[in-house]
Structure 1
Amino acid sequence: MTPRSWLYVPGHRADRVAKALAAGADAVVVDLEDAVPPGEKTAARQNARRLADQGPQDRPVWVRVNDPAGPWGEADIDALAGLGLAGLRVPRCEDPDVIRQAATRAGLPLQLLLESAAGLARAAELATAHPLVAGLGLGEADLSADLRVTGDDGLAWARGWVVVAARAAGLPSPVQSVYTDVADLDGLRVSTERARAGGFVGRSVVHPRQIPVVHDVFTPTAAELTAARAVLSAAARAQEAGEVAVLDADGRFVDPAVVRRARLVLDLTAPSEPVPGGTS
């Protein structure tokens, strides 16, 4: 299943890491960067390493390291290289050479966060910098400051661009950045619905109370699942007949592009729910 929610948790707080793993998010991101004071960087890194040494958890665990071009980031990557993590989130990505070096040292999948104009400008290069690059995303707070954007609408083009850059490189659809007003669940819903419509699949969150809203938006409805099942059934009939396109029972045209969209809908189905037509 494609994760719908990615819960950040401060890495220096071992008690919160344990709670985050039980909070119901589809994935957990142990943060070694922004949420960790300078004096706690070593403790956060040690906590992340101990968690990795425990072996697989019941959900993917990623670690957001510090800037890979700085001393903290280098130490993070060296400490976590090759361990049992889903991968590393890498902030402040701007230089493909730095990403290649980080990937080679880490030996783990990397999700790259674009947080500056320089990073956005080289998004396509960064996406293809190394085979271990597993995704692109935005760090919208830092990006807004760097671009001097004064409102949310000013990031619309950047969101569209990172979707294009990721998909052009054959990477998964990007994960939307955090919604920082934790108390504003209505605003979170509106923003997340806009993100889904714009090509994002899943969202980073900073508090467990945000998880149900994000799951609700990114979990297909019963009607969407029924429609996806019908598309795959029509596609199967077309394949049996030696065709690549066919009209479904409701007279809708079904071709390979429509089938790919239907499979994405099924891939967003929660593990506890039955997936019509099997796995995608």
Structure 2
Amino acid sequence: MTPPPLTWLYAPGDRPRVVARALLAGADVVIVDLEDAVAPDRKEYARAATAELLGAPQPVPVHVRINALDGPLAAADLAVLAGLPGLSGLRLPKVTAPEQVARVAATAPGHPLYALLESALGVERAYPIAGAHPAVAGVALGEADLRADLGVSGDAGLDFARSRLVLAARAAGLAPPCQSVHPDLRDLEGLAASCAHGRALGFLGRAAVHPRQLPVIERAYLPGAAELDAAEEVLKAAAQEPGAQALPDGRFVDAAVVAAARRTLSLARRP
């Protein structure tokens, strides 16, 4: 079982030096952003610089967040970037309908697609979007835009949408979604607490906007010593006596518990 990514680091596409540093920062995936992080008068330069970067394979997977699908720039982004050897995935912002995803899949075949849901309508259609095409590899929330759309503040107002996303991803057979970014770069304690909350909701990993956030995210999502010990006990018991059983400490073991233990140990084997 290949360990899943836990850290996804955004870098603005119009700042090649920042992108170059991001590639060496230790993130599992680097996301080059052509959308919100790039001013309108820098869009063409960002696209050209990103195409130059992705003309060759990169040391870590590189995804590109293209411009909004309902605007004029997304088609140009796809025309330039699709097929480049360094491109590992496309992140599609502000998705509101499965047809949008299907059109991108037809335009840029062979690339994993990640749909970003950033509005009430997008969240309401989470499951159809998650299952829109076999190329869909994941879904995620864009929480800043979603907060603005819903008129909510703080975390509690988004928990329904977060759980809805986790359920939709699972129902569509996708990996658990990663959390949206924590925008306060200095608030590492708040980031850790937010990651713990996201993990409890069923998320796996998190997007970051600065390298200093990466170790906090990784620590929050990697299993601790007690979790590893418990997982190993479950697998040992299952190997000795297949089928449902109760451990001496009262824990019940069945196929679902064994699968969860395997996932826990897979995370611990990350390189």
Normalising by structure 2, report the TM-score.
Answer: 0.94
When structure 1 is superposed on structure 2, of 256-265 and 131-140 the one drifting more is 256-265
SS of equivalent to 1:53: coil
Q: Give the 5 Å matches for 1:227-246.
A: 227-238=230-241, 243-246=242-245
Q: CA deviation at 1:150?
A: 2.6
How many residue pairs match? The answer is 267
Q: CA deviation at 1:196?
A: 0.6
**1:277 corresponds to:** none
Tell me if structure 1 keeps the 8 A contact 2:56–2:84. Answer: no
Structure 1 partner of 2:76: 75
Identity of aligned residues (%): 52
1:180 to 178, 183, 188: 183
Partner of 2:219: 216
Q: How far apart are the structure 2 equivalents of 1:80 and 1:246?
A: 53
The one-character-per-residue Cα deviations of 1:92-144 (angstroms, maximum 9, x if unpaired) are 00021111001111121111110001101111110111000111110000000
Indicate the residue corresponding to 2:169 in structure 1.
166
Once the two structures are TM-superposed, the CA of residue 246 in structure 1 deviates from its matched residue by 3.1
Q: Is the 8 A contact 1:180 1:206 kept in 2?
A: yes
**Which residue type is aligned with residue 36 of structure 1?**
V
1:113 counterpart SS class: strand
- Map of 2:33 onto structure 1: 31
Greater shift in the superposed pair: 251-260 or 22-31 = 251-260
| 3-state SS, counterpart of residue 90 of structure 2 | strand
In the alignment, is residue 206 of structure 1 matched against residue 209 of structure 2? Answer: yes
CA-CA distance at 1:147 after TM superposition: 0.8
Q: Residues of 1 paired with 2:177 and 2:54: CA distance?
A: 24
With over 3 angstroms needed to count, the CA separation of the structure-2 counterparts of 1:118 and 1:212, relative to structure 1, is same
Alpha-carbon distance between aligned partners in 2 of 1:49 and 1:228, rounded to the nearest angstrom: 44
Query: Residue in 1 aligned with 2:21?
Result: 19
Q: Which AA in structure 2 matches 1:63?
A: V
Structure 1 residues not aligned, in runs of 5+: 273-280
The TM-score, its normalising length taken from structure 1, stands at 0.91
Which residue pairs with 1:275 in the alignment?
Answer: none
Report the residue type matching 1:45 in the other structure. Answer: R
Distance in 2 separating the partners of 1:237 and 1:48: 53
1:270 CA drift (Å): 5.4
Rounded to whole Å, the distance in 2 between the matches of 1:68 and 1:234 is: 50
Alpha-carbon shift at residue 174 of structure 1 (Å):
0.6
Indicate yes or no: 2:106 matched with 1:104. Answer: yes
Q: CA offset at residue 251 of structure 1?
A: 4.6
1:230: how far off?
2.1
Greater displacement, 20-29 / 194-203: 20-29
Q: Secondary structure at the match of 1:258?
A: helix
Residue 265 (structure 2) aligns with = 266
Find runs of 4+ consecutive structure 1 residues off by over 6 angstroms: none
> d(CA) in 2 for partners of 1:180 and 1:26?
19
1:6 correspondence with 2:8: yes
In 2, Cα distance between equivalents of 1:48 and 1:12: 8
The alpha-carbon deviation at position 217 of structure 1 amounts to 0.3
- Mapped to 1, the partners of 2:79 and 2:269 lie a distance apart of 34
Counting only pairs closer than 5 Å after superposition, residues 40-189 of structure 1 correspond to structure 2 as: 40-57=42-59, 59-84=60-85, 85-107=87-109, 108-189=111-192
Distance 2:84 2:235 in 1: 38
CA-CA distance at 1:70 after TM superposition: 1.7
